[in-house]
Copies of this chain bind each other. A is one copy, B any other.
């Protein structure tokens, strides 16, 4: 069923039918009802491509999907996507994933922009000096960054307070008497990891505790990395008495290493992990329950979608969008006072 046919059936012009369907005010209420009824009866849907061509709006937002491992192995990503979807659904906006080889992402963004496949894009976990910011700005394709970089440009972003989160977490451990605290971080080429590193160091500095660089490590946020780094940390003497871990996934590996070393979490060693609130990694379900810095990545997705809509639909200026979300410190059973030996 095409608009033309529908109009024919109704004995109306395409113009009127189109207007009725799209909620324009200048159509008679009775006519509108007739049109809506007919549309429903015939299960009419405007052709997406035609509408896009006519309006110039794509009705979709884009995400460039790097197909190499490094970025994707992140199980958090899917939660974020779900959050996005939750909001975008309301306006029938699609998410377009554009697969791209590792080095080729810039070209993919360019392609998305120039062929106007999408109305805006989302940038996730930017690196410290992310070149995509400049590119997109230049291309004039609206975007919202989930995270921040130190780009001098003014762009829309939503981020959680990674620095504050790890500062508070470290302070909490220091207050419990811990002095040898290890940091198991994500890769510091990503800005969030750098922020966490910063927060960690600030807290220690504020307490007059010197950072032992042998107790600071980073890697992709996997179970395996968590295990390896923790095992290495635990081999040191004196042993660290507490760990700050950048993801729940890593904390799983860390926990294995702790057990392998014959230690008990929450008594012999304390741990605080960052929790993105992913359903299959529930800190309350762990044994012992895990103390965390918590911020829902799904909620962030929803909000990013909301912001995107404001930019696209309401024409809100991206430069005015800066949201820094505070992060909760949730104390559970994995943290305790420093053990006396």
Contacts from A to B (Cβ < 8 Å): 43-50, 52-53, 58, 60, 65, 67, 69, 72-75, 77-79, 81-82, 84-86, 88-89, 92, 94-101, 110-111, 114-117, 220-224, 227, 249, 252, 255-256, 259-260, 278-282, 285-287
Contacts and interface: CB of A to CB of B under 8 A. Distances in A.
Given A72-B82, A223-B252, A89 B100 contact: yes
Q: Give the number of times this chain occurs in the complex, counting copies.
A: 2
A21 to B, nearest CB: 13
Nearest to A259: B259
Contact of A86 (B45, B50, B67): B67
A46 B115 contact: yes
A64 to B, nearest CB: 10
A288 to B, nearest CB: 10
B223 A281 contact: yes
A154 B65 CA distance: 33
* Residue among A48, A92, A222 with the highest chain B CB neighbour number at 10 A: A48
Given A89-B100, A285-B227, A65 B82 contact: yes
Contacts of A98: 94-95
A189 to B, nearest CB: 18
**Which 10 A/B pairs are nearest by Cβ-Cβ distance?**
A85-B99, A222-B280, A49-B52, A89-B99, A224-B285, A45-B114, A95-B97, A49-B53, A75-B75, A73-B279
Contacts of A72: 78-79, 82
Given A60-B96, A67-B89, A75-B78, A222 B256 contact: no
A47 B43 contact: no
A50 B53 contact: yes
14 contacts: A43-B114, A44-B114, A65-B82, A65-B95, A67-B82, A72-B79, A94-B97, A94-B98, A94-B117, A97-B97, A222-B281, A223-B281, A224-B280, A260-B287
A275 to B, nearest CB: 13
